[in-house]
Amino acid sequence: MDERDLFLAELLRHEGRGDHISDACPGCPCLKSTPPRYRCQDCLDSQLYCGLCIVQNHLQLPTHRIEEWNGQFFERLSLKAMGLRIQLGHAIGESCILPRRAFNNDFVLIDANGIHEIGLDFCGCMTSQTHTKQLLRAGWFPSTSTNPRTAATFRVLHHYHILSFESKASAYEFYHSLVRLTDNTGLIRRKDRYESFMRMVREWRHLVMLKRSGRGHDPSGVAGTSEGQCAVLCPACPQPGKNLPHNWEDAPKAKGWLYSLFLAIDANFRLKRRAVSSDETDPSLSRGWAYFVEETSYKSYISDRAGDVQEKSTCSSHNAVNMAETKLSQGLAATGVGTVDCARHNMKRPNGVGDLQKGEKYLNMDYLFFSTLRHSTVDILNVSYDIACQWHKFLWSRMVSLPPSHHLNYLARTIRFFVPKFHLPAHAPERGWSNINPVASSTKAMGPGCRRDTLDDHFGDWNWKKVVGLGSLLLLKIKEAQIEKADHGAAFEEFDSVITSEHRFAWKAEMEAWEENPNDTTVANPLQPKGIAITQAGARLSLAQLEAEELKRGVDLSLHPDVSPSVLIASGIDLEEEQRRLKAIADGMGIHATDRQKLSILRMRMSLRRKIESWRQTQLLYVPSVQVLLATSATGSLNDTELMKLWLPSALNSNACDSRLQHIEWELHFAQAHDALEELRQCLRVYCSLLNFKREWIRGQGANTRAQNALTRIHTRQVACVKRYRTAWTALKSLAPILKKADWHGRLQDLSDDDVKPLIDPFASQGEGRRKLTWIWMMDGVDSGAAGGDVDGVRVEWCKSRARALRWSEEVDLLQEEMRRVLQFFNWQANWWEGQGVRRAAARDESLRAYASRQANIRRRLAAHFHSIWAPLMSPQDTLGNPAAALPLPDLTIPDMP
């Protein structure tokens, strides 16, 4: 701040001539030359020159901006006005015997520093090239091939290309920023070249895509491009012939999953397109060569099946399925896009993108799914889709209506369908679209072909950035996976060490039988307890069924289109549980928490606060009286999120509240109490069993430490169950007088610390004859499972612990296989590029070989870099004999897609 005057003075100094006040031009040999009055804004040299010198100095720099000193200040002047003429087709400074001026001597060149009028002469000699070729060889991209009057430098097109990827700036914004760089007053009227610039940008995108996919090296040329051939492939996904071992098909069944393909299907309804233009007026330049499917065949299939009635979803009333026909589409040619991605690495698949007309219809998603699978011959497919539960049911019967080229021999493959676990409750969208959504504002008004070409280009850049980032991504993943593998493996070993061999063998056999046939309903799921008890889930289902019956009778008490009264109260109870869980975590951190722990708690509080505020808006529809309570009570800081009052009906006392809501809360809390007791009993069974075994069989410090850690984890869950039950009990006591529940509690009682005891207490002071069971063991359903009831919880926990340890071990194996595939893919791709350099015999052999060699070099550098950072974490068989291991590590700066 103390140097502002200095900086300001130096900025103003550039408005005058500074130290360059002289009567002689420093570029002229004769001191009697014309006084210097001109300077260049873009040259490092701020010296003033005479007109002849300034023109001579810029024979190779025609887009530099010149200023003239008029005696009072500097004003802008073009090199064309000073007499500079650029001669194409000849060396700089060489004259042409038959120069031909640009059409009407009106030529505009767009560069990164502005829009320039250029005095341009084409070569008219007998051996001259066409005007288009002369411009292209000068590094200028013409807007048309007939009498071109506008061009853009390769430099500005490349600059905008990268800028559009990173900032999502539209061509309109970029062009008008150049207009302002040229003249920021608006006083100089120039012809608008925006449409020309748009056309050049689109053609540039298309040509660069063809160049990067090797189409210029193929003897068949651009016309020989096949569908999906210009897509950037995922090096980590299994691709036979490119990155799989030669005998991968003979891998044992136990390891076959290593060579499976993981796909994710999703839709984005922000990438709309208005009903402007048409495919006839604005066709795509690619015709399905990258990520979008070939439009003609796709639309033909959709129109032929337009009359088909789509089966309704029976799962969660998913709007994407049931409301597909009513999706708002007025004025829109496309309501969004559907995509098929590589699920593990989040890359767009070739021919896996297509427009949606009305919602997420099966017709669209089927075509995209089978279209992208034409590019894969992998035997095992894992397909993730947030509505897979409904979509896959009749998939193979719907496949028959697709073109024969899209048919899949599903009987010869292992295909599994999944709903992403995080989205099971509501089947919400699978992932965010934060990278591509900002493009929607500019693509929504484009014609169909321009929009598809633009999105194709953005998807290609996204894939390339993912490819370049695979080194750090897989390194981060495998480090995390190895830590989790060790932690869960140790936890299972601790658990397994206190289990008797009889149970261990029996439970392992159950797990293996179920894992071999997970879809066989005759094989019991060992991860589920065998006991039957009152559960919150069952109560919610019953309430939902009752509400459905009322709707049939014409009774609808819902005040919110998506949230019924039972869902409102159930959500509130869930929020209470989250508050308790968060408070337990915060209290357990103590006063010496690390910065990482504090950040984690802060994020959890912010997330919970947003959930509560969202839920509160719906609550006020059903219980307006809460507004008064909120107005008279302090909201509390973020640190008090876990202590916020939610004001469920049981906490309202005399305040007005619909009795229906009170009945719903009663039913849910009653079920919650039974739920908490059942889990508490399971915890006590596990704790007692482990404690007994530890006392009788465990010897040694290490073994005792492992057993004690297992006991601590069970105790933590036990404490949480006690708190949950006491919350439900308090609510029931509050609601009982209001709802006039006389003998409501039955066997439910106030839970004291003395009641929390195992069925058989190994440390009980009284003898067996005097021992009394606490009331929690005299509830209905505690003896379900007969003799196995005491070990049922232990069995479930053991099975879950074993499954976690195995899954993390498999994740490490899969990541190591993916790293091996990436290195092999780069090696294959480098060899492929080297082969492209000699495919086409022409006068430009050197340029073809140069580009192919540069592409091959980039792949080898990537492989060498990735191998250097992965080597300590890869298995020995993946590093031995790897060509990348022997390569030196050059500069690895890769600023953009090659």
Longest dimension (CA), the chain: 126
Contacts for 617 with CB less than 8 Å, ≥ 6 apart? none
C-alpha distances out from residue 201 to 110, 142, 171, 278, 523, Å: 12, 11, 8, 20, 60
What pLDDT does 759 receive?
A: 59
Contact between 865 and 822 under an 8 Å Cβ cutoff? The reply is no
Contact between 671 and 539 under an 8 Å Cβ cutoff? The reply is yes
- 186 dihedral zone (left: phi>0; alpha: psi -120 to 50; beta): left
Residue with tokens 């006005």: 81
DSSP 761-792: -TT-SS-TTT----GGGGSTTTTTTGGGHHHH
pLDDT per residue as tens digits for the range 602-661: 888 888 888 888 888 887 888 787 777 777 776 667 777 778 888 788 887 666 677 788
Contact between 387 and 315 under an 8 Å Cβ cutoff? The reply is yes
Backbone φ, ψ for residue 273 (5° rounding): -140, 130
Beta bridge partners of 341: 264, 348
pLDDT per residue as tens digits for the range 233-247: 999 999 999 999 988
C-alpha distances out from residue 767 to 115, 418, 762, Å: 98, 54, 11
Contact between 143 and 196 under an 8 Å Cβ cutoff? The reply is yes
DSSP 49-106: B-HHHHHHHTSS-TT--EEEE-SSSEEEE-TTTTT-EEESSS-TT---SS-EEPGGG-
pLDDT per residue as tens digits for the range 836-864: 988 876 545 789 999 999 999 999 999 99
Rg of the chain, C-alpha, whole Å: 36
Separation CA 351–CA 255 (nearest Å)? 29
DSSP state of 345: T
What pLDDT does 827 receive?
A: 96
Separation CA 318–CA 300 (nearest Å)? 27
Q: Global pTM?
A: 0.74
Residues of the chain with pLDDT under 70: 31-33, 315-328, 421-432, 495, 498, 529-563, 634-636, 653-656, 696-697, 743-747, 759-773, 777-794, 797, 841-844, 876-898
What pLDDT does 216 receive?
A: 92
Listed residue (476, 493, 249, 482) closest to 377, CA to CA: 249
What pLDDT does 318 receive?
A: 54
Separation CA 540–CA 572 (nearest Å)? 13
Two structure tokens written together for 77: 């002047």
Contact between 365 and 298 under an 8 Å Cβ cutoff? The reply is no
What pLDDT does 891 receive?
A: 41
